[in-house]
Amino acid sequence: MRKKLVAGNWKMNTTRQTATTLVRELVAEIGQETRLDVVVCPPFPYLLPVREVLAGSRIALGAQNVFPEAKGAFTGEVSPVMLTDCGCQWVIVGHSERRRVLGESNEFIRRKLIAAVQHGLQVILCIGETKEERQAGQTFAVVSAQLQESLPALSSAQLAAVVIAYEPVWAIGTGINATPEQAQEVHSYIRDWLARHCGSEISQTLRILYGGSVTPANAPSLLSQSDIDGVLVGGASLQARDFLAIARAAIP
Ligand code: PGA
């Protein structure tokens, strides 16, 4: 049984005050929940204040990005060493907003993935096709290329620190979620890909999240699919009530 994981990607939102208020409400309601894993990913400046509120709870702290070097002359960047030093256990890598808005390549994402796991971080690796790619029937090819260019660089032990988030680009922030059937189809393809390239044990244990316009209304049907092991939530993770409803839908 793969334990469900619900992660909140706050993106470039919140203030120090709204961030700590939000996480205080989460801690009060599900701070000791053992039946699922919960991760919150605030913006860099709020990692430390959020960590203080999370202290003693089972909710884990994640970052939204990382640079693939431990230290050095990389103005404006944040290293995996700094993230673990600030209490992060997780980091999101390869989010489509970073691929598309910031121009990150599969190669750069692979370097980030390796650096993050080498420094003891668990990684949520995001993959997914655009609307045009889906319409052209290229969904599996795109997803497979994104996996192929990052995962084979990792050992089996390192793969145990990875979670994949299937996030169709056309569903992110648009209010148009993939249907549970569309999501399950791609999740099942990803699990088969993992079986072929990483071995059957990894394919059975590695968690695959769905992301893209997840709400309290659609979370239960998405989470009931056999290969959907959790969700990566953007907009709805900014309201405690919505995020809590989504998290509760993931409790078996
Ligand atoms: P959304 O974002 O839930 O606002 O669509 C999801 C994500 O980008 O991870």
Ligand 1 pocket mutation pick from 213, 218, 231 by most atoms within 8 angstroms of CB:
213
**Is 172 close to ligand 1, i.e. is its CB under 6 Å away?**
yes
What's the pLDDT score for residue 221? 98
pLDDT tens digits, 49-77: 999 999 999 999 999 999 999 999 999 99
**Could you report the per-residue pLDDT of 223-250, keeping only the tens digit for each?**
999 999 999 999 999 999 999 999 999 9
Cβ of 94 below 6 Å from ligand 1: no
Give me ligand 1 centre to Cα 169, in Å: 9
Separation of CA 101 and ligand 1 centre (Å): 15
Confidence of residue 109 (pLDDT cuts 50, 70, 90): very high
Residue 176, ligand 1, Cβ within 6 A: no
Cα 177 to middle of ligand 1, angstroms: 10
Looking at residue 153, what is its pLDDT?
85
Cβ-in-10-Å burial (0-12, 13-18, 19+) of 89 comes to: middle
How far, in whole angstroms, is CA 138 from its chain's centroid? 23
3-state secondary structure the chain: CCCCEEEEECCCCCCHHHHHHHHHHHHHHHCCCCCCEEEEECCHHHHHHHHHHHCCCCCEEEECCCCCCCCCCCCCCCCHHHHHHCCCCEEEECCHHHHHCCCCCHHHHHHHHHHHHHCCCEEEEEECCCHHHHHCCCHHHHHHHHHHCCHHHCCHHHHCCEEEEECCHHHCCCCCCCCHHHHHHHHHHHHHHHHHHHCHHHHHHCCEEEECCCCCCCHHHHHCCCCCCEEEECHHHHCHHHHHHHHHHCCC
- Ligand 1 contacts CB of residue 169 (under 6 A): no
Looking at ligand 1, which residue's alpha carbon is closest to its atom 6?
234
pLDDT at 1: 82
As a whole number, mean pLDDT of residues 24-47 equals: 98
Please tell me the distance between residue 44's alpha carbon and the centre of ligand 1 in angstroms: 18
Which residue has a Cα nearest atom 2 of ligand 1?
234
Q: Is the per-residue pLDDT at 138 higher than 90? A: yes
Q: Just list the catalytic residues.
A: 95, 167
Ligand 1, atom 9: closest residue by C-alpha: 234
Question: What's the whole-number mean pLDDT along residues 196-213?
Answer: 96
- In the chain, the percentage of residues whose pLDDT exceeds 70 is 100
pTM above 0.85, yes or no: yes
- Minimal CA–CA distance to 63: which of 44, 86, 38? 44
Q: Which atom of ligand 1 is nearest to the CA of 236?
A: 3
Q: What's the sign of the alpha-carbon dihedral 130, 100, 202, 61?
A: negative
Distance in Å, CA 31 to ligand 1 centroid: 23
